[in-house]
Amino acid sequence: MPKKTIIPKKIPINAFRHLACGLGSALMLSACGFEPMHATNALNGASAVKGGVVFREISVVTSKNDKEDFLLKQALRDRLGDNSNTRYTLRVVPTTSRRNLGIGADDVASRYDLIMTARFELLDAKTGDVLMKDKIRAISTFGAPRDPYGTASAQNNADRQVAAEAADRIIVRLARYQKRGLDLSKQPIMTTDTP
């Protein structure tokens, strides 16, 4: 009986390129030290962060008792949890301004930018030591219809959106601080005044 020769099918060149690009990307990312922020260690399942801040151990305090403080505090509590008797305190001081955009022929603005700048400090709740200082800036743009109710409704929606964006930016800064794995008892104050 004659031997059959098995001839492999040709692999399309595009499939080979995609495979090569995928493997090359994976190798480059692993070589540069890329690691997901909330990854666990494969050996023991422990968090990759050592000595960092655990978000459920942070309580939020604002400076005033007005609408912008309330909305930002609520957005942060939604993300961090409503924590009491915690190890850390996040003190936040937000300020809000409004900038006119889209001035019409009648010299009335039809769009606005709502800008929230928030300075915040991460404090050790027991000692009051400042562990981290930073500042973020969030912007929400809204349209202003001709009727007053529509404008008020759009402004209220923009207030909530800018507070949510500011809270997200604060969480990212806290996560960056946590990811660095700083030993909080021995580190100087970290400040990054970038918007």
Q: Specify if 1 maps to a domain.
A: no
pLDDT digit string, tens, across residues 100-153: 887 777 766 778 889 999 999 998 888 988 988 999 999 998 887 778 888 888
Predicted TM-score (pTM) of the model is: 0.67
Nearest to 122 by CA among 173, 49, 66, 193: 173
The answer on 26 and 80 residing in a single domain is no
Percent of the chain residues topping a pLDDT of 70: 70
Could you list the residue range(s) of the whole structural domain that residue 30 is in? 12-48
The answer on 114 and 137 residing in a single domain is yes
The answer on 75 and 17 residing in a single domain is no
The answer on 112 and 43 residing in a single domain is no
Say whether pLDDT at 28 is over 50: yes
Q: What is the spatial order of strands in the sheet that 58-62 belongs to?
A: 58-62, 88-103, 109-124, 130-143, 190-192
Predicted pLDDT of residue 189: 47
CA atoms within 13 A on the CB side of 179: 12
Between residues 144 and 36, the one the model is more confident about: 144
CA distance 135 to 94: 9
The answer on 85 and 30 residing in a single domain is no
The answer on 70 and 86 residing in a single domain is yes
Mean pLDDT of 41-54: 44
Number of domains in the chain: 2
The answer on 167 and 82 residing in a single domain is yes
User: pLDDT tier at 71 (50, 70, 90 boundaries)?
Assistant: very high
Report whether 56 contacts 90 (CB < 8 A): no
Q: Specify if 5 maps to a domain.
A: no
Predicted pLDDT of residue 53: 56
The answer on 61 and 42 residing in a single domain is no
The answer on 154 and 66 residing in a single domain is yes
